[in-house]
Amino acid sequence: MREEGPPTGSETSREVTSVTTIGGTGFRWGERTYIMGVINVTPDSFSGDGVAGRPQDALEQALAFEAEGADLIDVGAESTRPGHTPISDEEELKRLLPVLEMLAPRVKLPLSVDTYKATVARRALEAGASMVNDVWGLKADPDLARVAAERGVPLVLMHNQHGTDYRDLMGDILASLRGSAGRALEAGVLRENIIVDPGIGFGKTPRQNLVVLRRLRELRSLGYPLLVGTSRKSVIGYVLDLPVEERLEGTAATVALSIAEGADMVRVHDVKAMVRVARMCDAIVRGWLPRP
Residuewise pLDDT in 10s, the chain (292 residues): 334 444 443 344 457 889 999 999 999 999 999 999 999 998 755 444 555 557 889 999 999 999 999 999 999 999 776 666 789 999 999 999 999 999 999 999 999 999 999 999 999 999 999 999 999 999 999 999 999 999 999 999 999 999 999 999 999 999 999 999 999 999 999 999 999 999 999 999 999 999 999 999 999 999 999 999 999 999 999 999 999 999 999 999 999 999 999 999 999 999 999 999 999 999 999 999 988 7
Residue 214 placed within a domain? yes
Number of structural domains, the chain? 1
Check residue 202 and give its pLDDT. Answer: 96
d(CA 213, CA 286): 19
Catalytic residue among 123, 267, 272, 291: 267
Enclosing domain of residue 215: 30-285
Residue 18 placed within a domain? no
Residue 238 placed within a domain? yes
Residue 229 placed within a domain? yes
Segment holding 194, helix H or strand E: strand 194-197
Give catalytic status of residue 122 as yes or no. no
Nearest to 232 by CA among 223, 220, 240: 240
Residue 153 placed within a domain? yes
Residue 41 placed within a domain? yes
CATH classification of the domain holding 241 = 3.20.20.20
Catalytic residue among 122, 151, 233, 247: 233
Residue 22 placed within a domain? no
Give catalytic status of residue 233 as yes or no. yes
Check residue 10 and give its pLDDT. Answer: 38
Secondary structure (DSSP) of 55-67:
HHHHHHHHHHHHH
Tell me the HSE value of 194 on the side-chain side, using a 13 A CA sphere. Answer: 25
Amino acid at 186: E
Residue 23 placed within a domain? no
CB atoms within 10 A of CB 215: 14
d(CA 229, CA 19): 21
Check residue 259 and give its pLDDT. Answer: 98
